[in-house]
Amino acid sequence: MPLPEVTLIDQGGRTFDLNQTRGKVVVLSPIYTSCTDICPLTTAKMKLIQEQIKTAGLSDQVQLITFTVDPERDNPEVLKQYSKRFNIDSSNWTFLTGTPDQIQSLIKDLSLYVERIYDIDGTPVPATSLPHPAVGTPYDVNHTDCLFLIDRQGNVRALPPGSQTNVDDDMQLIQQIVHY
């Protein structure tokens, strides 16, 4: 599966075309910043991967990218604050958002499951059952918990788990892809 061609916005408010990653190995992760369970764990795993990439001397060959599955709430400033909260080294790690249509297209192209779950008086209600919620209705986002390891040509080569990934196994795969 190829990495979709889409131009998004990074945490600094600059445009970021996924095509500009060609020539580098990419570790891609979906998250949303108001998540309180899976996404912070995934971000922590990505940070460990970044540290091992740096230790292995591969920082100039591997680009980490995290994109939001909740673009309505996760604007560039929110992503910037999220990356600061995790003390992210932005030299080879970019956080991305875009319009709802751009993000939905990326989600579809990556075959991800993403669904809003609204909180109606303490009862979780899927968006499919509540197509027109009142403005301001609180929600969480259920989504596929995975990483994408992408080769220099932009092809997905592996789909390790996100929050439960084994960083050492991921590093072996990343090094194989780097030397592929």
Q: Report pLDDT digits (tens) over 69-102.
A: 999 999 999 999 999 999 999 999 999 999 999 9
Q: Name the band, by pLDDT with cuts 50, 70 and 90, for residue 3.
A: confident
May I ask the CATH architecture of the domain 7-111+146-178? 3-Layer(aba) Sandwich (3.40)
- Rounded CA separation 55/76 (Å): 29
Closest CA to 51 of 83, 24, 88, 25: 88
- Distance in angstroms (rounded) separating the CA atoms of residues 179 and 71: 35
Tell me the domain boundaries of the chain: 7-111+146-178
> How high is the pLDDT of residue 131?
80
Neighbouring residues of 153: CB distance < 8 A, sequence distance ≥ 6? 22
Q: Where are the alpha helices (DSSP H) in the chain?
A: 38-55, 76-85, 100-109, 167-178
CA dihedral sign of residues 161, 162, 163, 167: positive
* % of the chain surpassing 70 pLDDT: 100
Residue 142 scores a pLDDT above 90: yes
Angstrom distance (rounded) from CA 67 to CA 31:
6
Query: What does the pLDDT read at residue 180?
Result: 80
Going from the C-alpha of 107 to that of each of 22, 91, 120, the distances in angstroms are 20, 25, 26
- C-alpha angle with apex 42: 39 to 47, nearest 5 degrees? 125
Report the predicted TM-score, pTM, of the whole model to 2 decimal places.
0.94
φ, ψ for residue 67 (rounded to 5)? Answer: -125, 150
